[in-house]
Structure 1
Amino acid sequence: MTSDTATARRASTPAVGARRRVVVLAVAVVAVLVSVVLSLSFGSRPVSFDEVVEGISAWFRGEIPTDIGAIAVQSRIPRTTLALLAGAALALSGALMQAITRNPLADPGILGVNTGAALAVVIGIAFLGISSPFQYLWLAMVGAFLTAFFVYFVGSVGPGGTTPIKLALAGAATTAALSSLISAILLPRQSVIDEFRYWQVGNVGRAGWDTIGVIAPVLVVGTLIALLCASSLNALALGDDVAVGLGVPVGRTRIVAAIAGVTLCAAVTAVAGPIGFVGLMVPHAVRQVAGTDQRWLLPLSALGGAVLLTLSDTIGRIVGSPGEVEAGIITAFLGAPVLIAIARRTRMKAL
């Protein structure tokens, strides 16, 4: 896409006022609070709102409540926290990937980054005997970065360079190949299968403060880097020529934003498994209501992702009661129609 064409497309897009964006932000914050309350309320034992308040208050005071409902609430706080962090990170990762590639299909799951991180962790457990969240994290990051580089390389080969369709096809083929390798490693090893049976689908059910403590610093750094890239990503949306004219280092911006996006995805995959479609759905939904300004799109995507994954986890517990349906299954069920809708659009060459 030429810079003139990109500029024309932005010019033809209706402007979104600051007041509307503030309203969307307020709604998103309220939605996060509601999703937290719902997540703490529903599980194997539903609890009342008063018990939720009692459980949270006792947790802040460092006390163990005597009421069984409040105790259940406290046991769900780590799970809810991980769902919020993971959802925000995945949505932010997807928004970054869509911005730097100008590809409406860019998403950690579709581009194979999730699967690459998962394969690295599976290899580590099956052959290296790793068991700590810290080891999971670094292996997942190695797998995610290698996969991202490979998919981008394959998608850029041939006439026309990198295009949305070529990247999506390269990601789909890579995901299929890596998934087959994961199955080949798991099937002969029953102990590894038991370890990854739920993790491989995408699940936040085994959250703990130790795992959250390992990934939280990585997520904070990745998020800060992403937000600092927002203005430069806005310039990239106008085309590389215009961005260079505005003094934006195009290559460095893409590399830094890509590192932030892959790091966010890898950290989540290390502790929750390959959860797909969050990074695809949320940025598109936010773009419809808040416009394309990355300074608003990125933080709103993070809030939307937190809401989506937390509600998906809650729905999974309600639908599968007395057991549960993994959050990754719920997000896939919700995300498949979105992917179909995007694929049916005629103008898919760039955002």
Structure 2
Amino acid sequence: MTLKPEIKWGLEGVYVKESSICLIDLDNAKIYYRGYELSELALKSTFEETAYLILRGKLPSTAELREFTSELASNRELPKELLAFLRGLPSGLRPIDVLRLSIDYLGVLDREATARGPNEEVKATRLIAMAPTIVATYHRLTTDGSAPRPRTDLSHVANYYYMFFSREPGDEELRALETMFITYMEHGMNNSSFTAVTVASTLTDIYSVIVAALSSLKGPLHGGANFEALKTIIEVGDPSRAEEYVIDKVRRGEKIIGFGHRVYKRFADPRTVYLKDLARRLAVSKGGDYLKLFETARALEDAVERHLGHKGVHANTDLYASLIYYMLGFPMEYNPANFALARIVGWVAHVLEYWSVGGRLIRLMEYYVGPRDLRYLPINERG
């Protein structure tokens, strides 16, 4: 008799590969990118510098950074076919779906999409560069009808801001958005990264891999939570209502979006520490309703700690990150897409790493619990 195997629901605690990209240090409440503490990178580094680190394993020299920055800038322009495709899309679509459809279309346009070889990193870099152009172009097409061209004299993050809002960011805005992109760039073997690696293990093309990862990310238990967390803060609306809101949710046994994480049970997500401070500084700078919303988020965090902290439910990144994007002026429906524009770097890094060690096909097992030895009856005998 075969013994029933231990079922790891949600694959919790299962290791699927070795990696040198990201360490989530649960003993010391820290996150590292390639050995560098994330909090330091998020507050001091740039998108280009951190993306180079994640993709190529080390911080770049001046010459290497200049070359990589130029490579990204020169690949921002969209093919005319994709621009026509975006013009034909209706308004009101979820931006992350527009990004997913567009990258799929780029794969159709690329006649060498399925060709294997050293150009995989070139294709991946092109996708990282084009993704912000896709999102910003769709936003502008559906708001003012324009399709601004990307600028090569601006950094990756500054150009995205410029294309989205039709103005260059100020120093405070640029630093805040840079911090957000670095923060969301990578986070170990999360659901969308596992999806990317699983799909990549079939040796399909990089476009299909990123489309699959985007399909995972948009779910409300993953990147979609970035949208829902902001809705929660706005719904509560005032710090004085936070306690009542949390108590009601606890009584009903309902999730409170912006709180709880599969990995962080003993303490809050370490990214919330510096994101809370960034959100506070932005709120103080902008004042008015923004300051009230920040105080509401903080009151929610305090209330959740009181009522659920002992159960391992703490604030996660989405609580303050969603508010930061809102204070920067992004419509809330763009939050998951903004998440994706950063995380695409991590997806690519994991896929290239997996392919570099042979890319063995991922094939899981399931334990069958259904009936056996049923007798087939012709349909006229089944009644």
Taking structure 1 as the reference length, the TM-score comes to: 0.28
Taking structure 2 as the reference length, the TM-score comes to: 0.26
Larger RCO, structure (CA 8 Å, separation 6 or more)? 1
Larger Rg: 2
